Amino acid sequence: MACFKTAAAICLVALSGLRSEATVTITHKLTVEEVTEDAYLVVNLARNGKLPVHINPVETSDSLVSSVQGKINEAGKQPAEGGCESVQISADLKNMFFHAFENAPETTPDYSQVLQDALTAGLSAFTEKRYPKTSEEWKTIWAKEAGASLGHLLGSNSTQIGCAVGRCTEKKTIDEPESVEETKKNKAVLFCELSPATTKETAPFEEEYFNGLIARTAQLSEMTADDLKAPSNNGTGAALFPTILIYGLVLMLTAVSA
Q: Check if the beta carbon of residue 47 is closer than 8 Å to that of residue 58.
A: yes
The CATH code that applies to domain 26-217 is: 3.40.33
- Distance between CA atoms of 67 and 43, rounded to whole angstroms? 18
pLDDT-based confidence at 38, cuts 50/70/90? very high
> So what's the pLDDT on residue 232?
64
The tens digit of pLDDT for each residue in 69-127 reads 999 999 999 899 889 999 999 999 999 999 999 999 999 999 999 999 999 999 999 99
Q: What pLDDT was estimated at residue 240?
A: 32
Reply yes or no on whether the pLDDT at 42 is more than 80. Answer: yes
What pLDDT score does 231 carry?
A: 75
Task: Name the residue with higher pLDDT: 97 or 20.
Answer: 97
Q: Which residues pair with 191 in a beta bridge?
A: 98, 164
- Calculate mean pLDDT across residues 52-80: 97
Does the pLDDT of residue 233 top 60, yes or no? no
Q: Give the pLDDT score at 20.
A: 53
CA atoms of 136 and 117, how far apart (whole Å): 26
pLDDT for 222 equals: 98
Specify the pLDDT at position 239.
33
What is the sign, positive or negative, of the torsion defined by CA atoms of 185, 187, 192, 193? negative
* Res 241: pLDDT: 36
